[in-house]
Amino acid sequence: MSAAIAAAKKNLKVVIAERDEITGGILNQCIHNGFGLHYFKEELTGPEYAERFRDQLSRYADSIEVLTDCHVLRLNRNKKALLVSPKNVFELEAKVVVYAAGARERPFGSLMIPGDRPSGIFTAGVAQRLMNIDNRKVGRRALIVGSGDIGMIMARRLTLEGIEVVGVVERLPYPGGLLRNVIQCLKDFNIPLYLSSTVVEVKGRERLEEVIVASVDEQFRPIPNTEKSFKVDTLVLSVGLIPQVEMLNGLVSLDKRTRGIACSNTGQSSNEWIFAAGNCTAIFDLVDYVTKEGERAGEYASRYVNGERFSLGIPIVPGENVMLTFPNYYNDIDDLTLYLRCKKPMEKAVLKVGGFEKTFEDLIPSEMIVVKIPKQKLSNLDRIEVKLEEV
């Protein structure tokens, strides 16, 4: 939505194709707080945040056509998209495309957990949709896997609705999400957090009956004789998000680390008429960041339509202690807003990017670092290495 609004502000005609019945994406089911602290300087719930942008969309109704219940099935090299909706199936030729298809959840099957294949195993997003939109309880007694923010938030949600949450299992030796959520979702409700633990077996012929959890070593391998049994009928998994890039197969390059669409700081991909923003490029922590990136993509996409051409720029590569970085290329057309994640928790580290340096404390991989680097600090480079030197 923010990309469309940015483009509309530059007098472009925009079509938004949204495959759900309503705009807003995953925000519609994120009924908890924590959105907008940066962007609106207010704390909002997901649906409220989405509504603000829906309001803006309607203000630009002359320029922005919003097609909901409309899925883009294919996009080809000739900029032709096949749009499928109950109203019509048609081709649309674009001058430029901004791709913001987000991410999908890692499914239970990909974890290769031994045991049965009963009902009652949900990824967190599915459980969230069932409970918050469809008005259905997912079970009676649950175990949550993954202490990222969404796992912890679902632990609270289930508990508030009378579903017993017996614990949250995390394979890292520290919680995967924000401390604030550890307090407000787990500690507040006395939900135990089992660190350095993983699910090693699921049991249940028809509906889930039991989950076996074991402790793990530093390589996440289960340690024998540490098994604990949890008699639950529901397993909620929050074990990773995967950028949805398949539709652009063959059209754009991907980044090996983020597994998302490789982009420049203009939001442009390796294919000049395709721009991308959001979780389909790298998995972001905050919708506020995603909104800004969407605006950026929309703006540069508009400039592209108006005839400007940009080069991808120089590569940005993760260096010491850095797991991944976004964007993946830097064009000195503007300053650089850089997002990165550290590889391991560090109490104190100095971020070094070109001529830019900043010290950070209490770094953990699940909390993205964001810095704005003036372009003067990035001149005369043929590549940008991003390092975190531990102090």
Binding site for other proteins (CB under 8 A): 19, 28, 31-33, 37-38, 41, 43-45, 47-48, 50-51, 69, 71, 73, 82, 84-91, 104-105, 107-110, 112, 114-120, 123, 125-126, 129-140, 160-161, 178-180, 183-184, 188, 205-207, 246, 362
Pairing of strands 356-363, 346-353: antiparallel
Q: How far is the CB of 173 from other proteins (least distance, A)?
A: 16
Closer to other proteins at the Cβ: 118 or 315? 118
Q: How far is the CB of 166 from other proteins (least distance, A)?
A: 16
Closer to other proteins at the Cβ: 137 or 383? 137
Closer to other proteins at the Cβ: 108 or 284? 108
Q: How far is the CB of 41 from other proteins (least distance, A)?
A: 7
Separation CA 138–CA 126 (nearest Å): 9
Separation CA 341–CA 112 (nearest Å): 27
**Do you find a cis peptide bond into 327, omega within 30 degrees of 0?**
yes
Residue 81 CB partners (closer than 8 Å, separation 6+): 17, 72, 74, 75, 91, 92, 93, 94, 97
Write out the H or E segment, with its range, that includes residue 298. Answer: helix 287-305
Q: How far is the CB of 283 from other proteins (least distance, A)?
A: 15
Q: How far is CA 269 from the centre of its chain?
A: 18
Separation CA 244–CA 133 (nearest Å): 23
Tell me the torsion sign for CA atoms 237, 239, 243, 245. Answer: negative
Q: How far is the CB of 109 from other proteins (least distance, A)?
A: 3
Closer to other proteins at the Cβ: 62 or 246? 246
Q: How far is the CB of 194 from other proteins (least distance, A)?
A: 19
Q: 200 near 114, Cβ under 8 Å?
A: yes
Closer to other proteins at the Cβ: 69 or 335? 69
Closer to other proteins at the Cβ: 236 or 386? 236
Closer to other proteins at the Cβ: 109 or 307? 109
Q: How far is the CB of 107 from other proteins (least distance, A)?
A: 4
DSSP-derived secondary structure for 263-274: -BTTSB-SSTTE
Smallest Cα–Cα separation from 269: which of 288, 240, 291, 243? 243
Residue 237 CB partners (closer than 8 Å, separation 6+): 105, 106, 108, 111, 121, 122, 123, 124, 144, 145, 146
Residue 224 tokens read as 């024998």
Q: How far is the CB of 303 from other proteins (least distance, A)?
A: 30
Closer to other proteins at the Cβ: 35 or 194? 35
